[in-house]
Structure 1
Amino acid sequence: MDGMTDETMARAALCAAAEPGEALLNRLIDHVGAREALEAIRTQRIPDGLAASKDEEHRFERRLQRWSIRLAAAAPEQDILVCERFGGRLVCPGNPEWPTTLDDLGSQRPYALWLRGPGDLRYGCLRSVALVGSRAASPYGLRVSADLAADLATQGWTVISGGALGIDAAAHRGALAADGPTVAVFANGVDVPYPAANDGLFAEMARRSLLVSESPPGTQPQRLRFLVRNRVIAALSRGTVVIEAERRSGALSTATWSQKLGRVLMAVPGPVGARTSVGCHRLLREEGATLVTGPEEVIEAVGRIGADLAPQPETPVLPRDRLDRETLAVLEALPARGAAGPAQVAAKAGLDLPTANGKLGLLAAGGFLERAPGGWRLTPAAKQRR
């Protein structure tokens, strides 16, 4: 623990004393700083000028009592030693690796973050997209998630998700398959593989990328913490893509936070009537989410204005599209049924007869026309393309 500051140790203790993102604790920290906030919890004394009313004073008293009980069981020094043992670190506000986008959370921002893995969190979040969705994902959703993550990672974008089964895991695996950066935000300690089925994935991410948590090492997951951690996923990224979501889905919580924070909200459409896409379709229909179907559209939505534009979708090029204006006019002058003579075609196309005859010969050579009694007619293939 060489070089560990009192501020870092205090924030490690605060992570253990309170649930992530408690507004009252952040107000206390803003008022007196992390070290004095920790002392206020130990002594259960409210700093002067903090509570604006009697009701607020009672709220602080109840919280200080609760935090004090949890603090008595905390072991921040041990937490930091355990973190160092598996190559992790604690990042605090003001540290070079602290992403300033987290400050957008205001009174619900993290007190500190426990990290595991070689990736640089702040640098990785400069160009980052969150991919989230259903745990019970369909084969369609898993394919879209993995492909989209791989394509984004190939183009230098960090893929952020929650490490859950389904869409999250597919996104992390897709980014790793493309040898790109990916970040998993946990609702438990970064040394606790949850869900256990993703143990191998987390081990690979710890070796090559980054695992992040607001809770100290050894912390077991609790249901409410999954919803709370979604605000961090939204705040770390420049935009959130919901790939699959049922009507009630944790991914929709991340979508809500993305909108609250002014981030770009995107959704992938799914099969009509698919239960796993009901949430996505509601976001598109009612919440103003941007419809995206590929990496170029995602990058255009979250990238630099005027610099990261998606290419226009390519349309099939037909043989007639390559004809010059006069030749096309002659082709259009031919009737859909029956034949027409050269003079009739020339008049309808607005060309002199020699020019029209020349164009008729070119069109015949290209398979558009054929000779017929009384002049020229369209070939069967040309009729189908008309």
Structure 2
Amino acid sequence: MSGGVNDAERLARAALTRLTEPGDEHVGRWLRQLGAVELVRALTGAGPPPEGARPDRLEGCRARAQTLDPGADLAAVARLGGRFLCPGEPEWPGQLDDLGDARPIGLWVRGSANVRLWALRSVAVVGARACTDYGSHVAALLGSGLAERGWVVVSGAAFGVDGAAHRGALAAGGATVAVLASGIDVPYPRGHAELIARIAEQGLVLAELPPGGHPTRSRFVLRNRVIAALTRGTVVVEAEYRSGSLVTARRARALGRQTMGVPGPVTSGLSAGVHELLREGACLVTDADEIAELVGSIGELAPERRGPVVPRDLLEPGARRALEAVPGRGGGELALIARNAGMGRDRTLASLYELRALGFVERLGDRWQLADAASTSGTPKPPGRRPPVRRGGP
């Protein structure tokens, strides 16, 4: 017995991951009504069939039952240093319960971290497999930036955006979780075998399929619901209109999670799906700070975005008005500048002398004109380089 789940239920749930497909709501309903042990009996012919079960479904389950050995599956995972996690155990991430009858029967896990605790502060970063260099770069930046801020990066270990996000988190010495559409002992894609092994060492690898399970198109789609439910929010970096990443994001939105998208060129088909998601109400994000602001706790605010500050931005209002009132060509006398500024002569004169000390204007006899640098770039000319000024009254 472990955390409210006895050995019989653990074996039965492990058997169900081999007898049935992930995310089957009919199976979820039967499991809720009958319990794991009785459902295994019902699906394998050892007991009455579940209510509403079609003959072809029962036939398929009984065919799979010919090689059923949940004890061997549990032993195989244990040899990998893994475990099988069931609902009701202390480590079970409760947010997966939001999936209702589509909730995973159990999770096959590799990695020593606590799944429930890591999921509490996690963000999914997903996107196109055939992404652009831009998409790969952005995904890696988001992965590393989120990891540096103490967030767990969750993705599907696929080529493209997924892999870049995982690598970004790993490079920052952070936490990352790969949710596979295969068994945890079957790295897919094969080209990411080394990456998935690194994630298992430094983070977590999760799967609904038992050892030896191979991915199919439908299993990839169903896997996405786990990524959406497990995390606080989903960020899509690049995606075409029919991308599975959009399925993840829309499922996240339906579950009440934050849905975010990174914009790209409007001429790129790989950004078209993200832009559609943004039109549907997803939040536009450009970096890890903005993601953390949306999914984090009170006070996790992104820094204020401002353009560069130029010297004239720091002037007090009177000096700024006087500077704007100095004619651009040839300058002008005090009376003209005061009239242009809408200020009295004394205040205008005081402001002009302040501007002269700062290098914004020059005085030539009775006229005031913009310093050369001020008239071209908005930056004052260094005071030491100004020409000598004739002494005299205003």
TM-score by length of 1: 0.92
1:38 Cα shift? 1.4
Please say if residues 125 and 162 of structure 2, whose CA atoms lie closer than 8 Å, have aligned partners that are also in contact.
Answer: yes
1:297 aligns with 2:290: yes
Query: What is the aligned partner in structure 1 of residue 69 from structure 2?
Result: 75
**Aligned mates of 1:277, 1:321 — CA distance in 2:** 37
**Structure 2 residue corresponding to 1:251, chosen from 218, 223, 245:** 245
1:309 Cα shift? 2.1
Q: Name which of structure 1's ranges 256-265 and 237-246 shifts more when overlaid on structure 2.
A: 256-265
Query: What is the aligned partner in structure 1 of residue 388 from structure 2?
Result: none
**Structure 2 residue corresponding to 1:163, chosen from 140, 157, 160:** 157
One-letter code aligned to 2:43: I
1:358-382 CA-to-partner distances (Å, cap 9, x unmatched) read: 3212212322112346511223432
Is the partner of 2:71 in helix, strand or coil? helix
One-letter code aligned to 2:300: D
Q: Name which of structure 1's ranges 367-376 and 152-161 shifts more when overlaid on structure 2.
A: 367-376
Please say if residues 339 and 372 of structure 1, whose CA atoms lie closer than 8 Å, have aligned partners that are also in contact.
Answer: no
**Structure 1 residue corresponding to 2:327, chosen from 328, 332, 335:** 335
**Aligned mates of 2:339, 2:213 — CA distance in 1:** 85
**Structure 2 residue corresponding to 1:375, chosen from 355, 359, 367:** 367
**Aligned mates of 1:350, 1:222 — CA distance in 2:** 75
Is the partner of 1:95 in helix, strand or coil? coil
Please say if residues 127 and 161 of structure 2, whose CA atoms lie closer than 8 Å, have aligned partners that are also in contact.
Answer: yes
Runs of 4+ in 1 over 4 A off after TM superposition: 1-4, 44-47
Please say if residues 339 and 373 of structure 1, whose CA atoms lie closer than 8 Å, have aligned partners that are also in contact.
Answer: no
**Structure 2 residue corresponding to 1:316, chosen from 302, 308, 318:** 308
Query: What is the aligned partner in structure 2 of residue 54 from structure 1?
Result: none
Query: What is the aligned partner in structure 2 of residue 31 from structure 1?
Result: 33
**Structure 2 residue corresponding to 1:18, chosen from 20, 29, 36:** 20
Is the partner of 2:183 in helix, strand or coil? coil
Please say if residues 46 and 60 of structure 1, whose CA atoms lie closer than 8 Å, have aligned partners that are also in contact.
Answer: no
1:9-38 CA-to-partner distances (Å, cap 9, x unmatched) read: 110000010011111111111002111211
1:348 Cα shift? 4.4
Please say if residues 44 and 64 of structure 1, whose CA atoms lie closer than 8 Å, have aligned partners that are also in contact.
Answer: no
1:60 Cα shift? 4.5
1:307 Cα shift? 2.1
**Aligned mates of 1:225, 1:352 — CA distance in 2:** 77
Query: What is the aligned partner in structure 2 of residue 116 from structure 1?
Result: 110
TM-score by length of 2: 0.90
**Aligned mates of 1:81, 1:366 — CA distance in 2:** 78
Query: How do residues 217-366 of structure 1 correspond to structure 2 at under 5 angstroms?
Result: 217-285=211-279, 287-304=280-297, 306-349=298-341, 351-366=343-358
**Aligned mates of 1:142, 1:209 — CA distance in 2:** 21
**Aligned mates of 2:258, 2:155 — CA distance in 1:** 15
1:211-251 CA-to-partner distances (Å, cap 9, x unmatched) read: 00001111122222111101001010111111011222121
Query: What is the aligned partner in structure 2 of residue 65 from structure 1?
Result: 59
Query: What is the aligned partner in structure 1 of residue 134 from structure 2?
Result: 140
Query: What is the aligned partner in structure 2 of residue 174 from structure 1?
Result: 168
Please say if residues 334 and 366 of structure 2, whose CA atoms lie closer than 8 Å, have aligned partners that are also in contact.
Answer: no
**Aligned mates of 1:115, 1:185 — CA distance in 2:** 10
Query: What is the aligned partner in structure 2 of residue 40 from structure 1?
Result: 42
Gaps of 5+ in 2: 379-394
Please say if residues 44 and 68 of structure 1, whose CA atoms lie closer than 8 Å, have aligned partners that are also in contact.
Answer: no
One-letter code aligned to 2:179: V
**Aligned mates of 2:147, 2:126 — CA distance in 1:** 15
Gaps of 5+ in 1: 52-56
1:350 Cα shift? 5.1
Is the partner of 1:383 in helix, strand or coil? helix
Is the partner of 1:115 in helix, strand or coil? strand
Please say if residues 38 and 47 of structure 2, whose CA atoms lie closer than 8 Å, have aligned partners that are also in contact.
Answer: no
**Aligned mates of 1:85, 1:120 — CA distance in 2:** 19
Q: Name which of structure 1's ranges 171-180 and 371-380 shifts more when overlaid on structure 2.
A: 371-380
Is the partner of 1:212 in helix, strand or coil? strand
